[in-house]
Amino acid sequence: MKINPTIRLILSLTVVGFAMTYFVCPSCPNSFRNYWLVGIFTSLVWIALWIGNAHVADLVSKFFSWTEQPVKRFFWGLVSTLAYTLSAVYLLTITFNWVTNFDVSFERDMLYSTVVFTFVISAFMHGKEFLQNWRKAALDAETSKKESAIARYESLKNQINPHFLFNSLNALTNLVYEDQDKAAKFIKQLSEVYRYVLDTREKELVTMEEELRFVQSYLYLQQIRFGGNLKVNLRLEQVEGKIAPLALQLLLENAIKHNVISEED
């Protein structure tokens, strides 16, 4: 059976509290009653400081962000933690003395110990939260970068596809009257191109072999359109590996668009 995380934390802090009794009250082990009372008090202090300071850290984070205002976040986090810790220990001391009629004095040694514990707990709480925020910010930045790249890529595909289709249909219109066999082959290659576009729309990567087959169909359509003005030599030493779908088409279309043939067409 799994123990609730909060209960497990309280039990762990109770063990720490009783262990700290030897340092807070060196003479307490000589008296069973004193040892248990001081042990209970020390455990309550640890529980109040640990859990309470965790909530203080969360509250400060709502006003000051680690990523946007790190200096203010650190300063007010430290001040808030110290103020809460001193207040909590003082109130616990008064309440415990009243309930048990046992004198747990809030003296100089207790004050020094409390301040030391405060800085230890504060460093842990705020350091943990800083690392969590830093890691989250890094992941968010990476996710945003990836989503931005995908969005730009999809935008390019959406811009290229209608433009390419319009030019292909214009070329096909002229080809139907000139050479019906070539027009039929043109239609087949055009269908292969758009089948590939549809099949890979949801894919991030395809094999180089698949991309090259698509490029050959795409180049056939462009060569029909531009005739002898377009000459392409594909020389690849290896076709292994993967590539983003339509990546080669984007390069080829840009090369054709900004070449001399686009001005003469």
Residues 6+ apart with CB under 8 A from 143: none
Which structural domain range is residue 104 located in? 5-143
Considering the domain architecture, whether residues 122 and 40 belong to the same structural domain is answered as yes
163 lies in some domain: no
What share of the chain in percent tops pLDDT 90?
0
- 19-28 burial, b at 16+ Cβ within 10 Å, e below that, comes to ebbeebbeeb
Considering the domain architecture, whether residues 14 and 129 belong to the same structural domain is answered as yes
> Average pLDDT, whole number, for the chain?
76
Considering the domain architecture, whether residues 26 and 138 belong to the same structural domain is answered as yes
Structure-model confidence comparison of residues 179 and 124, the more confident one:
179
DSSP assignment, residue 234? -
154 lies in some domain: no
Tens of pLDDT, residue by residue over 104-158, are: 665 455 556 656 766 676 677 667 777 777 777 778 778 777 776 676 666 556 5
Considering the domain architecture, whether residues 67 and 185 belong to the same structural domain is answered as no
pTM, two decimals, is 0.44
DSSP assignment, residue 237? S
Residue identified by tokens 């707990």 is 121
Rounded Cα distance between 24 and 117, Å, is 12
